């Protein structure tokens, strides 16, 4: 590239947020220069404590992105290191630097890969452009966190959020939570995959799926990226069905890839597609939700309900959750950490269910010991699937802390 | 500017000035060690012959009252913060003094608030020499930048009573803002358009000051019933249109935090009290008015209902959440020090089980005991806690003044002292190697509750044993600190402070616990 064209491709780039009401974020402004060194001006509310650390980090990130001549202005509102580097990288790339390069933060040890049928009662949505929610998300004990690149991120901010989410996957301790990423609708979502798949998310949520081909496309792209980057952990898929057509194709979508572990539904878009207003009790989506449960079960995958968006109405959430569970759903999305315990309680097996399951398992064990092929409880014969379901229910109840481990540990 | 001062090392390992504003100081020598041998101070003997027989002590205006009090250069003038950020009486008195041409006053507020930042121009113009009392916001910056002519002296509410009572601070003129008063000077805070609840912070001043002026915007015919300030201690009564802005005196309602991280801390605190067996019939507790403290009261309320447990008393600062405990029969009494919202003011006015206390009954360390040490558990905040459980509430980690001490130091005497703090704020760790300014010795701080776990002071083996086997996340404090440093990207750098003291932190017994240094 000639000097002239190189200069042409360069422009001022900025990324991130600052201001009196912004917390835990940083704003970076980069102006490419023809000559001279990299000059960094830093304003930070944590300057007395981490001013030197931020400057050192900035120099390191800029050097990794081969920024050699530039004026850089950083307004920091107490962002954590993984955010600082993500904002610098986004600004640098917007200024035309570092194409094809990454400035990756140090990688922490992540939890074991998640099994296919793990507990997925609650998945907490974290807006992909708002880092302040990331760091403590796992403390509130959701089964999964979703780093969202889709609806919560403005279309002009997709590039920056992608880098931030990538860094979070490397540097934020999400504890025992399953680390999910909701990518954008295809084809934009395929670019998201390039950035996040090398960081081994546990699961990708694919929005607005209407046809099995979309799932296949995502599966193939993930396979390619995994091969290229040597990612050997499983990466599961949950297609989100958000239209009438998607619901009609639910079974085919669920069966499109062996990586699909669950189906879920997006009710805002679905009701919009129907042209029916979304109501508190959800009569307009009853068919869709039942269809979803049936299709998922037919395909042998889990099924999860939508989110309950009124964060102030805990009683409404509880009632919705209980209905969901009764319909066969295994969990819901959460838009606020306070929803998590309510959802867990709603989806927990009832005392009566647990007691019955314990009796079934005891009868099964007794039959095993006696070498009997037929399990019976009182005068009733118990079919093998019923035993399987009881075992599963108890192991779930154990993982929710509802049954002491010792009660059945010897039996399962 | 402050002359160069000699420093001494105190028992907490902190360098403190040997002389503060011309008075020799005793460096802190440990908890419960200092035994003063002296008699209390007292105000001059007066005679009823000098006061109107009809009891009418009204006088035209504040300026006339200050003149009659003989206000002159170098005197000590006191005011009180029961009207909080809505107070207009303190500035009214200081500005009147400025108009009278008086210089070099020592302003001795029970606390200062951001709305009183005009005191800075009174320091610049020479009316005020220095402030002994809490300073924050612009006043705090003014002091920590070394611009004040004298040294700031930070005392707890109990320590302020102690200093007045022991004669360390002699008040020449006390100006008491009263939401209701009669012409004799009996004064009360529960009624009137500027009702604020209690007047306990002004009680010591009314007893020990040479001259006492009551300023009210709700004059009632004698007798003012109830009353917390006795007219027999009052020299003059001044009637004004308004003593303050009611919207900033009390909040309409105090709000519980909705931050999930802070709610988590609040729930941990409540569960800790339950699991440790502190929450039992006849127990007592105190919590402040911050978002975490209010949420804690809500969680504890539900646990008390569930467990069928009743408290004997709870200590205010009171809010509608404490009032609810009283009205639901979950506590026999509220022993109140300060009222924060309208529900609490109403309750104090009408419910005899909601009782007004003062820093004398609640907190004064130089008395024959006080209520604070009889409380089973207290829940407090802090800016920093260190690995030895020392706490800081007065400065930011960069050394700038942030808060007054309030009742914080006095409350450390409770059976179980709990600091409820987020482990870091933005990127600033709250769990540190060593606190910037020592405000409370670690030997009195038993438990630190953060969103990442609960640390129990190793000296409290009884508490460690009590919660063994519970599902609470009990962790060593070093462990929480290490995690926070990992998240924040290493240890925070230490602020560069000068070697010039700008204020001192007094311990509850009047000895000097630590120094606030000029920030460069």
Nearest CB to B452 within list A78, A79, A139: A139
Q: Answer yes or no: is pLDDT of A183 > 60.
A: yes
pLDDT exceeds 60 at position A29: yes
- Report the gap between the CA of B312 and the closest CA in chain A (Å): 32
Q: Residue B229 in contact with residue B360, Cβ under 8 Å?
A: no
Q: What is the pLDDT of residue B343?
A: 93
Which residues of chain A are within 8 Å of residue B422 when distances are taken between CB atoms? none
Instruction: Please give the helix or strand (H or E) that residue A85 lies within, else none.
Output: helix A81-94
B452: helix, strand or coil? coil
Question: Are the C-beta atoms of residues B206 and B233 closer than 8 Å to each other?
Answer: yes
Residue with tokens 């040479």: B210
Is A81 in CB contact (< 8 Å) with chain B?
yes
Determine what percent of chain A is predicted with pLDDT higher than 90. Answer: 80
- Among residues B113, B323, B427, B370, the alpha carbon closest in space to that of A48 is found at B427
What's residue A262's pLDDT? 98
Report the residue from B258, B427, B493 with minimal CB separation from A78. B427
Q: Is B38 part of the contact surface with chain A (CB cutoff 8 Å)?
A: no
Q: Is pLDDT above 90 for A388?
A: no
Inter-chain CB proximity A136 and B398 less than 8 Å: no
What's residue A405's pLDDT?
A: 57
pLDDT tens, position by position, A244-280: 999 999 999 999 999 999 999 999 999 999 999 998 8
Q: With cut-offs at 50, 70 and 90, classify the pLDDT of residue A386.
A: confident
List CB contacts (< 8 A) between A81 and chain B.
488-489
With left for phi above 0 and alpha for psi between -120 and 50, is residue A151 left, alpha or beta? alpha
Say if residues B6 and B491 touch (Cβ distance below 8 Å): no
Could you say which of B426, B452, B489 has the minimum Cβ distance to residue A45?
A: B426
| Distance from the B263 Cα atom to the nearest Cα atom in chain A, whole angstroms | 9
DSSP B251: B
Chain A residues touching B397 at Cβ < 8 A: 48-49
Closest listed residue to residue B20, CA positions, set B154, B205, B209, B166: B154
pLDDT (0 to 100) of residue B32: 96
Q: A52-92 pLDDT, tens per residue?
A: 999 999 999 999 999 999 999 999 999 999 999 999 999 99
Q: A173: which chain B residues are within 8 Å (Cβ-Cβ)?
A: 487
pLDDT in tens, B271-313: 999 999 999 999 999 998 788 999 999 999 999 999 999 999 9
- Burial of A262-291, coded b for 16+ CB within 10 Å and e otherwise, reads bbbbbbebbbebbeeeeeeebebbeebbeb
Nearest Cα to Cα of residue B224 among B179, B195, B270, B186: B186
Task: Provide mean pLDDT across the span A171-195.
Answer: 97
Quick check: B427 and A24 CB within 8 A?
A: yes
pLDDT score, position A9: 63
Task: Nearest by CB to B427, from A80, A139, A140: name it.
Answer: A80
**Domains of chain B by start residue, with CATH:** 54-132+169-249 (3.40.1080.10), 260-496 (3.40.1080.10)
Separation of alpha carbons B25 and B7, rounded Å: 10
User: Which residues does chain B have with pLDDT short of 70?
Assistant: 1-3
Lowest mean pLDDT among A29-43, A380-394, B112-126, B272-286: A380-394
| pLDDT of the residue at B255 | 81
For B344-394, how does the pLDDT look when each residue is reduced to its tens digit (9 = 90+)?
999 999 999 999 999 999 999 999 999 999 999 999 999 999 999 999 999
Residue A184's pLDDT is 98
């Amino acid at each position: 590239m000639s000097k002239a064209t190189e200069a042409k491709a360069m422009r001022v780039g900025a990324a991130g947020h600052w201001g009196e009401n912004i917390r835990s974020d940083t704003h970076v402004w980069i102006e490419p220069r023809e000559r001279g060194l990299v000059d960094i001006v830093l304003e930070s509310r944590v300057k007395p404590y981490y001013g030197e650390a931020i400057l050192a980090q900035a120099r390191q990130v800029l050097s990794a992105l081969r920024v050699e001549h530039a004026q850089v202005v950083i307004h920091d509102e107490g962002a954590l290191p993984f955010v600082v580097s993500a904002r610098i990288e986004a600004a640098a790339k917007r200024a035309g630097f570092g194409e094809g390069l990454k400035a990756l933060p140090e990688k922490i040890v992540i939890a074991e890969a998640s099994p296919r049928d793990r507990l997925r009662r609650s998945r907490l949505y974290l807006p992909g452009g708002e880092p302040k929610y990331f760091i403590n998300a796992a403390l509130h004990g959701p089964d999964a966190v979703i780093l969202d690149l889709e609806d919560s991120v403005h279309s002009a901010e997709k590039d920056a959020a992608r880098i931030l989410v990538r860094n979070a996957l490397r540097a934020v301790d999400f504890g025992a939570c399953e680390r999910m990423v909701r990518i954008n609708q295809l084809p934009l979502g395929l670019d998201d995959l390039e950035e996040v798949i090398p960081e081994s998310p546990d699961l990708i949520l694919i929005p607005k799926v209407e046809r099995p081909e979309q799932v296949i496309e995502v599966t193939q792209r993930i396979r390619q990226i995994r091969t290229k980057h040597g990612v050997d952990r499983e990466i599961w898929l949950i297609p989100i069905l958000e239209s009438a057509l998607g619901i009609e194709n639910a079974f085919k979508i669920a069966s499109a890839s062996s990586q699909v572990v669950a189906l879920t539904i997006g009710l805002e878009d679905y009701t919009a597609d129907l042209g029916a207003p979304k109501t508190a009790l959800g009569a307009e989506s009853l068919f869709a939700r039942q269809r979803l449960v049936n299709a998922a079960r037919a395909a042998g995958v889990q099924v999860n309900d939508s989110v309950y968006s009124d964060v102030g109405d805990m009683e409404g959430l509880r009632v919705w959750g209980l209905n969901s569970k009764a319909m066969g759903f295994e969990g819901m999305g959460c838009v606020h950490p306070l929803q998590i315990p309510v959802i867990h309680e709603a989806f927990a097996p009832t005392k009566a269910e647990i007691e019955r399951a314990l009796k079934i398992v005891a009868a099964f064990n007794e039959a095993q010991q006696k070498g009997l092929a037929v399990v019976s409880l009182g005068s009733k014969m118990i079919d093998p699937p019923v035993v399987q379901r009881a075992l599963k229910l108890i192991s779930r109840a154990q993982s929710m802390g509802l049954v002491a481990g010792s009660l059945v540990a010897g039996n399962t | 500017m402050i002359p160069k001062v000699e420093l001494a090392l105190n028992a907490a390992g902190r360098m403190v000035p040997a002389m503060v504003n011309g008075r020799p100081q005793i460096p802190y020598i440990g908890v419960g060690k200092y035994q003063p041998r002296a008699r209390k101070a007292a105000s001059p003997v007066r005679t009823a012959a000098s006061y109107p027989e009809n009891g009418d002590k009204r006088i035209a205006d504040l300026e006339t009252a200050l003149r009659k009090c003989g206000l002159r250069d170098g005197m000590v003038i006191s005011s009180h913060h029961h009207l909080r950020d809505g107070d207009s009486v303190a500035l009214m008195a200081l500005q009147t003094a400025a108009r009278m041409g008086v210089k070099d006053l020592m302003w001795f507020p029970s606390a200062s608030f951001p709305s009183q930042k005009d005191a800075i121009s009174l320091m610049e113009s020479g009316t005020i020499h220095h402030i002994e009392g809490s300073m924050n916001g612009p006043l705090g910056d003014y002091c920590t930048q070394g611009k004040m002519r004298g040294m700031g002296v930070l005392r707890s509410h109990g320590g302020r009573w102690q200093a007045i009572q022991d004669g360390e601070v002699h008040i020449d003129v006390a100006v008491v803002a009263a939401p209701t008063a009669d012409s004799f000077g009996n004064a009360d805070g529960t009624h009137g358009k500027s009702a604020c609840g209690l007047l306990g912070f002004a009680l010591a001043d009314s007893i020990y000051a040479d001259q006492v002026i009551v300023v009210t915007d709700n004059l009632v015919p004698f007798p003012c019933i109830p009353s917390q300030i006795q007219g027999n201690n009052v020299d003059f009564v001044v009637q004004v249109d308004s003593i303050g802005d009611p919207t900033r005196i009390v909040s309409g309602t105090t709000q519980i935090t909705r931050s999930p991280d802070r709610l988590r801390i609040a729930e941990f605190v409540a569960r800790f009290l339950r699991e440790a067996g502190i929450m039992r019939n006849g127990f007592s507790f105190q919590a402040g008015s911050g978002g975490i403290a209010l949420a804690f009261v809500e969680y504890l309320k539900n646990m008390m209902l569930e467990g069928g447990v009743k408290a004997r008393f709870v200590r205010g600062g009171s809010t509608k959440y404490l009032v609810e405990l009283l009205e639901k029969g979950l506590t026999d009494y509220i022993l109140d020090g300060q009222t924060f919202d309208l529900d609490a003011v109403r309750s104090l006015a009408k419910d005899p089980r909601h009782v007004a206390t003062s820093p004398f009954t609640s907190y004064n360390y130089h008395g024959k005991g006080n209520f604070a040490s009889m409380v089973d558990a207290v829940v407090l905040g802090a800016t920093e806690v260190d690995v030895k459980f020392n706490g800081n509430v007065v400065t930011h980690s960069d050394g700038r003044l942030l808060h007054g001490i309030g009742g914080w130091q006095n409350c450390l005497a409770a059976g179980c002292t709990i600091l409820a703090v987020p482990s870091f704020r933005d990127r600033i760790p709250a769990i540190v190697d060593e606190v910037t300014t020592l405000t409370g010795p670690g030997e009195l701080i038993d438990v630190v509750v953060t969103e990442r776990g609960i640390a129990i002071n190793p000296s409290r083996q009884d508490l460690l044993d009590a919660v063994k086997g519970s599902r609470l996340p009990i962790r060593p404090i070093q462990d929480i600190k290490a995690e926070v440093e990992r998240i924040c990207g290493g240890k925070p750098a230490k602020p560069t402070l000068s070697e010039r003291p700008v204020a001192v932190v007094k311990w509850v017994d009047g000895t000097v616990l630590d120094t606030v240094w000029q920030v460069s």
